[in-house]
Chains A and B, each alone.
Chain A
């Protein structure tokens, strides 16, 4: 069964004034353990698609299925709860709570899930270690580089043990070393722990690291292909 799937998904912005067809009849299916990149020119609908997959926005027509459940018809409050337990998010920026340390940011989502204190502490320690921030646990976002902040965001997304993680241009604000470093962490999590990632990017080097590349043009799927990736490590 697909972890996330769309059926004939369409999105029209401003249908009454100047309609913008951001998504046209998109049907995709992503399986558990896939490492998928969504690419395409600016304005092609990548962000719109990711927002639909994450249940952040409602489509004009079509449906989105996450783990066998149709989410577009869910009540808003149920959807918030559904996201908490099923979907991980890494945004381009403003990922973290500024008044919290790295450790508190990672712990926070588990607190929202009402997990035990002990489990939260251990898991946050472990995840920060895994993203290479074992020594920056008590740093606040302003005290960290953009790359470090994104790694905390990835650790946070992993912490909630979601079905899959969505990342809209997670490397867009990073220099290339930090970008490749973040990709390394994501792909290692994907390989070692079978975490499903769906991310969008403009960066060719990031695209090269994706096993599956979905290319969008003008709101529609243009190409959907699997590629071989040599498992190199940078940094």
Chain B
């Protein structure tokens, strides 16, 4: 076995130039592939983190029908008991309650459908990073009564700026149309233009007064110590409290959960594409090598080297060649990703387009050890597939090749 590995390894270096070219292709291919996967991961993770931290949080509680219907009377029952429970659960780091209703925003220019989000400035600030999105004016902890902050897109569409007034119209918890006038105190810009166009923020206490005669909350956002705890915590909440639905961020945002899965699939697809191309290089190099060594292999079979050993030697040769390239490619890619994960990959030149789609322009590529293992497995699998044919040709070589005298 060790001897066969030795032959295989030394055979690789019989044609340093030929093996070198293939090796360079493998190194370059894997480097590019791994870095690409790293960037995609970085993009996805950035999106996920941003969405969780700025708005979705790890878990949310609603009235079971609220998300589908959006009516203000579908508020969370036993709100105070739930808050009490959250306060005493060690897994919960922060939480905030929101009062939400769909309604209309009216300015002298036009009327737009918006989701009105009544938040508690203080607990919201502790729970999410939404306040960081403010680009102009003040946050909701301003002294101005009936304050509202709106998205930059919406402000532009309505030709509004801070200090202007808008009117919000919505149904209260008794199903009656109500409206209120609000002062724009701030303008925000999140990663998603669409979100900025559709959401406005007011103070929950002022909003509750307009909605009815009792405090109502439609959403509780919960940040946990670890993202992985989301499943248990929501399960506990659902079994403990009737009339509510607690959901994890994955359940709340199928888009995000799909992104996570997409990341996993991308690793395999990108590696497969790169390796499929390299497979032809491997096949070609191995066939060339085999063709040159017909007599040598004939000699080995003549003197009594079994077919399984001949087969293994050829397989070892290509696997060792690719593994060498893979290791070098990994080291390079690892270095690149490490470097970029510190400084970030700045895609400012594409940032306009990226912001439209809701992406930030600095990306921190990342790759988990598990993903390196997946890539390595795909590489080995495809190399084995590409080497089987040369290896089979190898064992079919007639021992008489060695006996030929010409």
Residues of chain A having any CB pair with chain B under 8 Å: 47, 50-51, 54, 56-57, 77, 80-85, 88-89, 91-92, 94-95, 97-100, 104, 108-109, 111-112, 156, 160, 168-169, 172
Binary flags per residue of B259-302, CB closer than 8 Å to A gives 1, else 0: 00000000000000000000000000000000000011011111
- B303 A109 Cβ-Cβ under 8 A: yes
* B18 interface hit (Cβ, 8 Å): no
Q: Could you name 16 residue pairs across A and B whose Cβ atoms are closer than 8 Å?
A: A51-B403, A54-B302, A77-B307, A83-B304, A91-B402, A91-B403, A94-B296, A97-B296, A98-B14, A99-B7, A100-B10, A109-B303, A111-B3, A112-B305, A112-B309, A160-B304
13 more CB-based (< 8 A) A-B contacts, given A100-B7, A168-B405: A47-B403, A54-B403, A82-B304, A83-B304, A84-B305, A89-B299, A91-B299, A91-B302, A94-B295, A94-B298, A109-B303, A109-B304, A172-B405
* B11 interface hit (Cβ, 8 Å): yes
- B299 A92 Cβ-Cβ under 8 A: no
A47 and B405 in contact, given A94-B299, A108-B3, A111-B3 (Cβ under 8 angstroms) = yes
Whole-angstrom CA separation of A69 from B10 in the bound complex:
38
A99 and B11 in contact, given A47-B403, A56-B399 (Cβ under 8 angstroms) = yes
- A80 B296 Cβ-Cβ under 8 A: no
- B306 A81 Cβ-Cβ under 8 A: yes
How many A-B contacts at CB < 8 Å in the complex? Answer: 74
* Minimum distance in angstroms from A174 CB to a CB of chain B: 14
Whole-angstrom CA separation of A95 from B302 in the bound complex:
10
* B400 interface hit (Cβ, 8 Å): yes
Which B residues from 42 to 88 make CB contacts under 8 A with A?
Answer: none
Option from A47, A84, A104, A169 in Cβ contact (under 8 Å) with B303: A84
* Minimum distance in angstroms from B82 CB to a CB of chain A: 73
* Minimum distance in angstroms from A153 CB to a CB of chain B: 10
Whole-angstrom CA separation of A57 from B59 in the bound complex:
76
- A89 B303 Cβ-Cβ under 8 A: yes
Whole-angstrom CA separation of A83 from B304 in the bound complex:
5
Residues of chain B having any CB pair with chain A under 8 Å: 3, 6-7, 10-11, 14, 295-296, 298-307, 309, 399-400, 402-403, 405
Which residues of A lie under 8 Å from residue B309 when comparing CB positions?
112
Which residues of B lie under 8 Å from residue A88 when comparing CB positions?
303
- B405 A89 Cβ-Cβ under 8 A: no
Whole-angstrom CA separation of A180 from B399 in the bound complex:
28
Whole-angstrom CA separation of A130 from B295 in the bound complex:
27
- A57 B400 Cβ-Cβ under 8 A: yes
Whole-angstrom CA separation of A109 from B304 in the bound complex:
8
Whole-angstrom CA separation of A57 from B302 in the bound complex:
10
Which residues of A lie under 8 Å from residue B3 when comparing CB positions?
108, 111
- B14 A56 Cβ-Cβ under 8 A: no
Whole-angstrom CA separation of A81 from B303 in the bound complex:
9
Whole-angstrom CA separation of A94 from B403 in the bound complex:
9
Which residues of B lie under 8 Å from residue A84 when comparing CB positions?
303-306
A99 and B304 in contact, given A94-B295, A172-B405 (Cβ under 8 angstroms) = no
Residue of chain A at shortest CB distance from B300 = A97
- A98 B296 Cβ-Cβ under 8 A: yes
Option from B6, B10, B305, B402 in Cβ contact (under 8 Å) with A80: B305
Whole-angstrom CA separation of A18 from B109 in the bound complex:
99
Which residues of B lie under 8 Å from residue A57 when comparing CB positions?
400
